[in-house]
Structure 1
Amino acid sequence: MRTDTPSPMPLSVPLSPDTPPPIILVFENNPSLALLVGQHDQHLALIEQSLGVRLSCRGSQIVIRGNVENSHLAQQVLESLYSNLNAGQPIDADIIASTIRMVAPKAKQAKQKARPLSEGEESSDRLSSDNLPEIKTKKGNILPRSPGQAQYMHHLAHQKMVFGVGPAGTGKTFLAVAQAVAMLHAGLVDRIILSRPAVEAGERLGFLPGDMKEKIDPYLRPLYDALHIMMPAEQINKRMVSGEIEVAPLAFMRGRTLAHAYVILDEAQNTTSAQMKMFLTRMGSGTHMVITGDLSQVDLPAGTVSGLKDAIETLHNIEGIATMRFTSADVVRHPLVARIVDAYDKKKTGHTRNVKKISPS
C-alpha cells in the first residue's frame, strides 16, 4: 500500500525466473524519479553506457536488463542516487560517474573470499560506500568520488605523513588542501604551509617581471586555486597576512622547523633526492605532511632521479607513513582524462615490450 511519504529506497521486483531475470525498480517519489532519470533520459543513458545494461523508464518504474552482475550494479547505482535525491542532494553526470566508481569495487570485493591477514600485512581493500570518510569544511562536507579517494582521505585523517602518487585529475592536491583547511578551522593545526618546486613544465619561461611574489606565483597558482575553493578570498588574504596560511616555493623551506602545521608539497616528482630529504626533515612537533605528485610527469633534467620516487622506495616500510597510489580509475575530471592517461600508459608499456634485439647479419 502506497503512502504520501516517499520510500527512501526503491522496491526490487523480479519479472520472471528466467536467467538472467530483468529487474524492476518501483519508485514512490515521482519528483525524485524525474531527477534520477534526467532530461530525455540522459542520466539513464550514462548508466547504460558505463555498465553495459539496458534501462527503460515506465511510469514509476525503471526496468533493468543485462547480465546478472551488471544488472545488480545498475540497481545499486540507481538506489544510491535515488536515496541521495530524497535526502536533498542533487545529481549530475559527475556524481553519477562517482557513484559508479564507488559501487563497482564494493561489488567486486563482496565476491572475494575473506581471509585473515598475516602479521604486519595491510588490507588491500579500499574503503567502500558503507563507511565513507568525509572532510568537514565551512563550505560543506567533502566526500570521496572514487575508492582511491576514500582510502586517501582515510590516510589523511589518520597518518602524520602521506604520499599521494598518481595521474592528474585524481584529487590528490585538492583533498590534501581540504584536509588542511578543515584541521585549521578545527584548531588542530596553527597554520597551513603549501609548497611546490619552481620547475618549469618542459618549457623555458625566461625572465619573469615583478617582485619575488609575482615571480613565484605562476608556479604556485594551482595551490591558490584549491584554497579559493575551500575559503572566501578575503579570509585567505587575511590569514596569509597573519601567517596562518603560507604559500612558498620549496627553496624557501631550507633551514626551517615546521611545527604545529599542515604542510603540503605539490608536484613533488620535480624535486631532487636532496630537496626531498631537506623537505621531509623540516617536520616538527604536531605537524602533518602530505606529498603529492605524478611520476609520469617528471620535468627534471635527463638523468636526474625524482626525489618523490626515491622517497617512496626509501621510506616504504617506515611506521607512520602511508602511500596512496592512484590509477586512471580514480580520475574524477572529464572521462577523457582517464582515457588519455590509459593511452599514454599503454604506449609506454608497448614501447618497452616491443623492443627487439637484432643480431648483426
Structure 2
Amino acid sequence: MQSYIDVAISNNPEIQKFDFQYKIALEKIEEVNSLPNTEFSAGVMALAPKMEMPMERFKISAMQMLPWFGTLSSRKDYAASMAESEYAEVNIAKRKLARSISQLYYLLYEIRAKQEVLLKNIKLLETYEQLALTSIEVGQASAVDVLRLQIRQNELQQKIDVLKEENKGIQAAMNSLLNRPFDEEITIFSTLIIPENDVTLNYERLSIHPELIQYEKIYNSVEQLELLNQKERKPVIGIGLEYINMKDSPMITSSYKDMLMPMFSLSVPIFNKKFSSQTKQNKLKLKEIEAQKKERLNSLQADLSKAIALRNQAKIKFDTQAKNLKQAKDAEEILIKNYETGSINFNDVLDIQELQLKFQMNQIESVQTYYVQQSIVNYFIQ
C-alpha cells in the first residue's frame, strides 16, 4: 500500500497545486526584496520668449525612493514566514492524501475478501446440493431441499455481482487520487490480520502535527507583519539628481552655464492612524490564532481518541466473531456426521451455513474497520 501512497504523492494534482503555491510563495521573497521604481522625468522648453536673461532649454531628473533602514529585510522575513505556512499546507495535504488512499485500499480489501468468502460458500452449498440429491434417492430428502439450496446459491451469486460493481467504483476513486486511468487494476493484500498487540501511542506527538505547526507558522507571519508595520511607519527617504541645460546668455560669465542639482526628499507619515490600527489588528490576530490552535488541538485529541476506541472495538468484534465461527463449524461437523448415520436436516444445514457466512463477513468488516481507523490514527501521530 505504501507504494500507492508514494505514487499518489508524486502524481496527485492537488499535491502539485499546493507545491506550486509553495514555490510561488518562495518567489515572493525575491519580489519584495527590491526597491521602488526609479523615477525619471524630462522637460523641454517648447516656446520661449526672446530675452537676454538665461533660460533653460531642457531638464532631466532622476529620483529614487528608499524605504527606512531594515524595511526591505522585514518584508523579506514576512514573505519567508508566509512561504513556511504554505509548506505546512503541503504536508497537511500529503497526510490527508495518504489517509484517503489507505481508506480506499482497505475498502477494496473488504470487497474482495467478501467475494472470496461468498465463492467458497457457493462451493460449499454445491457440496450440500450433491448430498441432498443423494438423499433424495434413498428417500431421506425432498426436491424442496435441493431447490432451497439452489436459491441460496443464487442469492450469494447476486451479492458477488453487486460487490464486483462496488469494486469498480472504489477502484476508480482510488485511481483518480493516483491520477491514473480509472479502470487500472489495483493489487490488494490477499490476507490482513489484526495484530495481537498495538503500538503504544504517544499523544504528545500531536503537538508536532502539521495542522498545529501551520498555526505556529501563521502566528510567526503575523509577528513578522507587525515588525514590517513598525518599519513602514518610518519616513521614506528620496535621493535624486537634476540636470538643467541653459541657453547661452551675455549675462552668464561663468564657463559653466548648465546646472546640476542634487535632490533630497523625505516622506513622513504624520497621520499614522493606519499603522496604529494595523498594530491593534495584529495583536488581536495573534490571540485569535492562539485560540484556533487550542481549539484544533482539542479537536485532534478527540478525533484520535475516537479512532483508537473504534479500532479497539473492531478488534473485540473480530475476536468474538472468530469464536462464533468456530462454534458454527463444530455444528456443521455434527450435521455431516449425522448424514453418515443416515439422517440430515437441510434446514439446519442452511441455517448453519448462513451463520458461518454472517460471522465471516463480520470478521472481514472488523478487519477493514481496524485498518481504516489505524490509518486515521497514523494521520494524527505519524
| Structure showing greater relative contact order (alpha-carbon pairs closer than 8 Å, 6 or more residues apart) | 2
TM-score normalised over the length of structure 1: 0.21
TM-score normalised over the length of structure 2: 0.20
Asked which structure has the greater CA Rg, the reply is 2
